[in-house]
Amino acid sequence: MKALAKVVQGPGLELTDMPDPTPGPDDVVLKVARTGICGTDLHIETWDDWAAKTISSPLIIGHEFVGEVVETGANVTKVKVGDLVSGEGHLVCGTCRNCKAGRRHLCANTRGLGVHVDGAFAEYAVLPEQNAWVHKHEVDLDVAAIFDPFGNAVHTALAFPVLGEDVLITGAGPIGLMAAAVARHAGARHVVVTDVSEPRLDLARKIGANLALDVSTHKIADVYAELDMSEGFDVGMEMSGQPSALREMIANMTHGGRIAMLGLPANEIAIDWSSVVLKMITIKGIYGREMFETWYNMSVLLQAGLDLSPVITHRFHYTDFADAFATARDGRCGKIILDWTGSVDVRRDA
């Protein structure tokens, strides 16, 4: 099969021939239909310090995907050949305290598909049955391919109740955009999204944000009067990992405000802890998805009419992966999809 892999240690990726995967007794094999490019894939392709410390080659990368089950292991009982499946990319141990208590998203021994074991940027991929989310209802393949980051967005957006609340989202990357859509769908009064990229702020407007603010030219507090706010935001979702974004969020939270923090800082962040204490702000770290409550929520949201189509801006055939990665790295885009089934002439810009 063809696969996109880190063949040797160092920058770059190679589209190469790899053996077709065979399932273990508890695994399923998928014929991959679509995959999504993640920031993690960009780190691996660039070969930054994190990738050099984390990745062993050869490795098939990729952890955002959807495909059809074509083979199952001997012990597989619930997933069937022909099922359409998106994959949970966090592989948990199943034996630690949190796993045994049903809190698998808190497993301290988590390994990553496409990071620690072969991933899904290939014509076929193997996945443990317990990590397979079978789509019971009709779903667009492009959307099904990004259930992994969609799950990050849902996990963050629903970390605190947003019904009737004023919500601030810092960072208009794909996950921030999806979180904005979820917050609006869940009944937030106002959703304000901040960034410094006008193309991404424009996507925030398309996805339904009440206000998309360029913080390189405007202050967050300037929106209070426009939105009839008096005390600050009730719920914050920090998606950027930027120190200035977290500091500004804390400064603009109301007393008793709650912050869900998904953005991963590259370095330590100095913040005004006195504001956190005196305003009694709650800060909650978010990682991945709750397995599988978040997945259930995702499917229900889509069935209830949540539209994620504005988030997906570019589609490429997998043979055009170099252009796809260059587009993702440029940053003036939403989510980018690789098609593993269609003809080579599938590039479409939304």
**pLDDT per residue over 263-288, tens digit each?**
999 889 999 999 999 999 999 999 99
**How confident is the model over 297-324, as a mean pLDDT?**
97
Is 135 in the active site?
Answer: no
* Predicted local confidence at residue 47, as pLDDT: 96
Does 344 have pLDDT greater than 80? no
The per-residue pLDDT for range 12-65, each reduced to its tens digit, is 999 999 999 999 999 999 999 999 999 999 999 999 999 999 999 999 999 999
Tokens matching residue 45: 């392709």
What is the pairing mode between strands 111-112 and 90-91? antiparallel
Residue 213 labeled ligand binder: no
In the three-class reduction of DSSP (H, G, I as helix; E, B as strand; rest coil), residue 196 is classed as coil
Residue 220 amino acid letter: I
The answer to whether residue 72 is catalytic is no
Pairs from 15-18 (Cβ < 8 Å, separation ≥ 24): 15/318, 15/319, 15/321, 18/60, 18/122
So what's the pLDDT on residue 343?
55
Consult the annotation and say whether 64 binds a ligand: yes
Say how far apart CA 335 and CA 4 lie, in whole Å.
18
| CB-based contact 111:119 (threshold 8 Å) | no
pLDDT averaged over every residue in the chain: 96
Query: CB atoms < 10 A from the CB of 343, how many?
Result: 7
Handedness of CA 94, 96, 99, 101 (dihedral sign): positive
The pLDDT, as a whole number, for residue 266 is: 85
The single residue of 40, 72, 156, 294 carrying the catalytic annotation is 40
Of 249, 191, 254, nearest to 220 by C-alpha is 249
Helix 147-157 vs helix 293-303: angle between axes, to the nearest 10 degrees? 100
Average pLDDT over residues 214-233: 95
CB 310 within 8 A of CB 206: yes
In order of start, what are the domains of the chain with their CATH numbers? 2-146+308-349 (3.90.180.10), 155-285 (3.40.50.720)
315 is annotated as contributing to ligand binding: no
Q: Is 36 labeled as ligand-binding? A: no
Beta strand residue intervals within the chain, DSSP E: 2-6, 14-17, 27-36, 59-60, 64-72, 84-87, 90-91, 111-112, 124-128, 132-134, 166-170, 190-195, 211-214, 233-238, 253-261, 282-285, 312-317, 335-339, 348-349
pLDDT, tens digit (0-9, with 9 covering 90-100), for 175-184: 999 999 999 9
Which of 148, 267, 275, 270 is CA-nearest to residue 259?
275
Four-point Cα dihedral 173, 177, 183, 188, nearest 10: 100
Whole-structure pTM value? 0.95
pLDDT at 346 over 80: no
Phi-psi region of 140 (alpha: psi -120 to 50; beta: other; left: phi over 0): beta
Using DSSP's 3-state secondary structure scheme, residue 235 falls into: strand
- DSSP code of 280? T
Collapsing DSSP to helix, strand or coil, 34 comes out as strand
Q: What is the mean pLDDT of residues 243-255?
A: 97
Structure tokens at 38: 């993640």
The one catalytic residue in 43, 116, 135, 185 is 43
Burial class (CB in 10 A: 0-12, 13-18, 19+), 283: middle
Distance CA(307)–CA(189), nearest Å, equals 18
∠ Cα 107 113 117 (to 5°) = 105
Higher pLDDT, 22 or 343: 22
102-148 pLDDT, tens digit each: 999 999 999 999 999 999 999 999 999 999 999 999 999 999 999 99
In whole angstroms, what is the distance from residue 59 CA to residue 120 CA?
10
127 annotated among ligand-binding-site residues = no
Q: Is 306 annotated as contributing to ligand binding? A: no
Rg (CA), the chain: 20
124 labelled binding-site residue: no
pLDDT attached to residue 3: 98
Ligand-binding site membership of 286 (annotated): yes
